Chains A and B, each alone.
Chain A
């Protein structure tokens, strides 16, 4: 199964700055999803980008997908303290809707 691998692993930024994190994967995908996890809680789905899409926006989130490089990036603009969380990418190879999760990026937004 695909393994998303995020980079960098930990990021500390000031409130108002942008945060960018990357994800790479190994095999072909149907879609790629980003999730947020607050400390000790379950994951919350943020955004999904399909394999035939290159860029997608949702509020302050912007995700890109480069299938030739097997990579994706998540940009959070104008970060807030409430954005402090771990962010995971997950790849969906299609068919059975099983997701392969990466290790996650821990983002700390300093007020």
Chain B
């Protein structure tokens, strides 16, 4: 079982609200990632970080933003949620070297009405 946590697990919210999805890991991993996944579909990388104060946009354009102030914490924020943001958001982490596999959190399923 990976030591990576996401809250909330489920969120239903109205259009225009600001939301923050939380992700924390206790494995001391430097690299962290956010993926967006629609049901039954592939994962799309939307943000990643190589360490504190490092954030990069991923392959899929996203209106969300991220921050990395502490190694263990990588929150994702949507300033104004829209129905098009309805999806599952998965957080993951990995080591720099040696073991490149990624460890995933349980995901947050977001529904914007």
State whether A101 and B43 are in contact (beta carbons under 8 Å apart), knowing that A1-B59, A45-B101 are contacts in the complex: yes
Is B41 part of the binding interface, using a Cβ–Cβ cutoff of 8 Å?
A: yes
CB A34 to nearest CB in B, in angstroms, measures 10
> Across the interface, do B103 and A45 meet the contact criterion of CB distance under 8 Å?
yes
Chain A contact residues: helix, strand, loop or mixed: strand
> Across the interface, do B105 and A42 meet the contact criterion of CB distance under 8 Å?
yes
Interface size class of A (residues with CB under 8 A): 20 to 34
Number of interface residues of B (CB under 8 A): 30
- By a CB distance below 8 angstroms, the chain A residues around B42 are 88, 101-104
- By a CB distance below 8 angstroms, the chain B residues around A72 are none
Q: Which residues of B contact A (CB under 8 A)?
A: 2, 4, 6, 31, 33, 35, 40-45, 48, 50, 58-59, 88, 90, 92, 94, 96, 100-107, 109
Q: Which residues of A contact B (CB under 8 A)?
A: 1, 30-31, 33, 35, 40-45, 48, 86, 88, 92, 96-104, 106
